[in-house]
Amino acid sequence: MIQLQRKSVVKKGLVISLFLILVITVMYMLDIECLGVKSSVAYASDKEIEFIDEEFKKSVILQRNIDLPLDSERVWEPLSQEDINNMEFVVIHEDFNPDSYEDIYMFPNVRRFASWDMDMTMQQIIEIDRYIKSIDIKGTVECFESIWSIREKPVNFSNSLTEEILKELGGTESLNIETMYDLLFEGIKLKSSDFEGKSQEQMINVINELINNDYVNLIYYSELDIDSSLIEKLKRSDLVIDNGIIRKKAKYEKETYISYIDLTDSTKWYYNGIMFLTKNKIMQGSIINGNRYANPENEITNAEAITLVAKSLEKEGTVTIGDIRNDQKWYEQNYNAIEVTTDDYNPSQFINRYEFTNLVKLLTEEKVKQIDMQVAYNNAESKFKDWNQIPDAYKEGVAILLDLKITNGTVNKDGEIIYNGEATLTRGMAATFIQRLIQAITG
């Protein structure tokens, strides 16, 4: 009897053990969190990004997975802040709730917003366009389906000259919602020929009427021969007027330059670099729970570094960053703009000082012509104790940066000055390098 009981206990024990092994195996295969072990399926609280619209969040997670290389593992964790920051093209599907469209404001680098089969109001579309243009004036919104039923509704202006200019720009005989929809995203580009024989007062009247129209978010006036004092009088709190452009501010756009919750100490060595790039819309930081972070101590990836360099070159007018296509990843147009490949610069890999040196060298092409490279090489060899360890492919870039006073290297534990090229770069370092380069080039 006792022997039978023992057999029964052993049998039950084996069954329980096999059951636990099966459960653990299934959980491992599904990557489910258990006993504090994080997984790619479970929602990890430290990575959770709060959305107003859960359906929108699901579609963004799906979009992120579609953007991954085919041989990548699907990632079903909640979106990380890095995911959000990396998305320049955001697709909204029919499940998106137009009443909670403020979720779009969480994407600090979005350049294109596409909405398919959506029922959004024109006011919502206009506001999203304002937000995207606050990040990049070339940004676009695609949600024509929303206005299809009202596309022929007339849009009237009291000033006949304003109507004439808009009809010519739109290539149309009549102004309606459809015409103004196209002009909304392209911006109104005013030319001197539009005002031939007209007075300065007539010019400013047209600009004023355009500013006060809901379907106009962006006006280019740099080609006009107009008194700057008249433009000065247009200034108001809901407008940004700068470099020949008048842009309407987005609802949640700050009145002043962007500020960062983790960058309040102006004595930090990287403060000026980050704020300089922010002012020039080269760097925007990340938004977490409504707060904007610069993350100056975070290491920077190749894709992020290339984006900073490409945007800097675009600011100079040296390159043009094309619009991102549906089949492109967020960084591809930046790689294409400066003619580098993902084989040379793995997008997700952290960049080191050597690699970044070769990238930012692209910003110095005209300035390099004024440098005596032999002197620059000699100075670098005298300055850096690790000069002989620097690969030949990077020596020119290191010598240029030293000559332009962009870097003085770092001090090692023995008190020697070295370049330390294999060290990874932080966002603060990258911003400081680029700021010094731009200022060295522009004087």
* Distances 283 to 109, 229, 250, 434 between C-alpha atoms, Å: 9, 31, 18, 11
Cα separation, 402 vs 396, in Å, equals 10
Tokens of 78: 């909640």
Q: How far apart are CA 282 and CA 307, in angstroms?
A: 8
Q: What is the pLDDT of residue 35?
A: 29
Does residue 351 contact residue 345 with C-beta atoms inside 8 Å?
A: yes
pLDDT band at 98, cuts 50/70/90? low
pLDDT at residue 117 greater than cutoff 80:
no
Between 231 and 35, residue with greater pLDDT:
231
- The H or E element that residue 357 is part of is helix 353-360
Per-residue model confidence (pLDDT) at position 232: 86
Q: How confident is the model at residue 84 (pLDDT cuts 50, 70, 90)?
A: confident
Q: Measured between alpha carbons, how far apart are the two ends of the chain, in Å?
A: 97
Contact predicate 181/147, CB 8 Å: yes
Q: What's the pLDDT at 94?
A: 66
Output 197 or 97, whichever has higher pLDDT.
Answer: 197
In order, the DSSP letters of 213-272 are STT--EEE-TTS---HHHHHTT--TTEEEETTEEEEPPTT--SSS---TT---TTSTTHH
| Burial (Cβ within 10 Å: 0-12, 13-18, ≥19) of residue 279 | exposed
Structure tokens at 193: 């020929």
Backbone angles phi, psi at 112, to 5 degrees: -150, 135
Residue 280: predicted pLDDT: 81
107: Cα within 13 Å, side-chain hemisphere: 27
Phi, psi of 132 (to 5 degrees): -65, -40
